[in-house]
Amino acid sequence: MEWWTEGVYATEILLWAIVFVFMWWYYKNFKFQISNFKFRMTKDRIFVSAVLLFVIYCFVSRFWSLDSDLAMQQSLRILEAFLLFFVLWLGPLKKEDAIKWLVLGSILPCILGIWQFLMQSTFASKWLGLALHPAWQAGTSVVASDAIGRWLRAYGTFSHPNVFGGFLVIVLVCLIMNNGTWIMEQKKSLCFVFHVLCSMFCVALFFTFSRSAWIVAFIGLLVYWFIVWRQRLKDYKIKRLPVTSHQLLIIVYLVILVVLFFPLIQTRLTSLSVTEMRSTDERVSEYSDAWKLFKKDPILGVGAGNYTKALWESNKWRPAWKIQPVHNAFVLFAVESGVVGVGLLAFVVLTWIMDQRSWIKRRGQFDVCSMFHVLCFVIIVSFDHYLYSSYTGLMLSALFFGLISRKSDDKAISPQLIHF
């Protein structure tokens, strides 16, 4: 069972090394503040306390979980996600630099995903963490019907096309919402690179055939173009909706792809094929299973990472390939953590919003892009579970919120976590 597998990723070891280096850097830069001890509860300290309380609850859930090892593994990864968030939020790396490395690190998976779809083949590599996904094999993510056959969806370097699609959406949104400033500031001629990157990410995203990712990307592009139009209207009194060269290029690429692969899009969106109907039926039935599990342990939940274990215990005759998390991260978390866990997470989110509002009041700026980022995240987790259920998804979630919490003009700062 994939969901019962225990292990350690090499990047987890790297992450812990980064965390310890960050702790040393933080101490070296702000230790002079500790001498004048005068504790006062601030909004950022309340937020950190809420995070600490939530993480402790996740670890404690091992005592009532069916599989305590799975609970410990999921709790550890939740802790790692918050640590990555704090490194991005408080560390010396600027927001623009973080986005730069995120975008550059996305080029190889993007090219690989485009190649996988065009060649309709994949290859396995233990060094790159790639698995073989033959289009003819049951369990492989494909777009299929009697009319078009079986078309392999792009996996990139990820475990599923939906995960790859969510990753590309996060990268694309971060890139276009920051206008590729790390490119623009170096040389105006490099704007061409920005155009190429946007187009390449959009093409790779199209080949994932991830409906939730498509929805977020479509909304994202519309919101971005609206923000650009409002800004130009304010600065240059332009009343028509401007279409820049890279926007026009993206539109042209998408029109060509829609025309070429319209039968696949129709199959994916109409759910008339046997494969799509089965996928829809399975997702609907998952909500029924989730409700049954939630009713059994509504207060404390089944334990972190124990959803599939509890699902199997409820019906041990269920085939292994039918045992998977419900495709909604909110529902999945509610079943695993119960009402208490949901309340603690809500407290974390509320204190985070309060801290963000305090920044807005200090600077007098309302970051529309950050609010839109949150909306994109909510849409993705409402249609899938990987941003919570997997290590990769948790790291993406931490990266996402770390970037939108860090303001563009912030240098390496310490809010008031150890300021006295």
SS3 213: helix
User: Could you tell me if residue 240 is left (phi over 0), alpha (psi between -120 and 50 degrees) or otherwise beta?
Assistant: beta
pLDDT of residue 419: 47
d(CA 148, CA 63): 50
Instruction: State the residue for tokens 């909500």.
Output: 287
In a 13 Å sphere around the CA of 184, the CA atoms on its Cβ side amount to 8
- Does residue 209 contact residue 262 with C-beta atoms inside 8 Å? no
CA gap 195, 165 in Å, rounded: 19
Predicted confidence at residue 367, as pLDDT, reads 57
Q: How many helices (H) and strands (E) does the chain have?
A: 17, 2
Are 74 and 66 in contact by the 8 Å Cβ rule? The answer is no
Q: How far apart are the C-alpha atoms of 279 and 199, rounded to whole Å?
A: 30
pTM: 0.88
Q: Which token pair is 405?
A: 């919490």
Residue 16, Ramachandran bin (φ over 0: left; ψ between -120 and 50: alpha; else beta): alpha
Q: Three-state secondary structure along 405-416? A: HCCCCCCCCCCC
pLDDT of res. 420:
40
pLDDT in tens, the chain (420 residues): 788 889 898 899 999 999 999 999 888 877 545 555 566 777 888 999 999 999 999 999 999 999 999 999 999 999 999 999 999 998 888 888 888 889 899 999 999 999 999 999 999 888 778 889 988 888 889 998 888 889 999 999 998 999 999 999 988 877 776 654 445 455 555 667 777 888 889 899 999 999 889 988 888 777 767 766 666 666 555 555 455 556 677 778 888 999 999 999 988 888 777 777 887 888 888 999 999 999 999 999 999 999 999 999 988 888 877 888 999 999 999 999 999 999 999 999 999 988 877 655 555 444 556 666 787 888 889 989 999 999 999 999 999 899 888 766 555 555 555 444
